[in-house]
Structure 1
Amino acid sequence: MFGATSGMGYFVQYYSDFARFDLVMVGFIFMAIILVGIMYLFDKFKARILRWTINN
């Protein structure tokens, strides 16, 4: 995130410089939601591609 010139990392860094911690938290929550969604999609993809493996 540090040194970013665009994107969510820039958003978080920019507003943290101005002590707008409400917007910083919005940025972190947004990134967490995106991360959970990507992890969910990868789990579905893995389950479909690797059907023959043993699930513990």
Structure 2
Amino acid sequence: MQWISNIFQPQILALLIPVIAIIAIFGNKALKAHHEHLERMEKIRNGIDPDAE
């Protein structure tokens, strides 16, 4: 349990919080792009031209 107290030191948190935020932002964008891709593929399967809009 020593590692938990080490993580909560201000020096570590100052580096850890921005890194986690950046990972979360890129993860969110990747999931959004994947969802949009799935919607586009479903439109194509249903015979709708997704570029016609």
Identity %: 10
Structure 1 residue runs of 4+, over 6 Å off? Answer: none
Structural RMSD (CA)? 2.3
Q: Which has the larger radius of gyration?
A: 2
Instruction: State the structure with bigger RCO (CA 8 A, min sep 6), 1 or 2.
Output: 1
| Structure number with higher helix proportion | 2
- Structure 1: gaps of 5 or more residues: 4-9
* Matched residue count: 40
In the TM superposition, residue 22 of structure 1 has moved relative to its aligned partner by 3.0
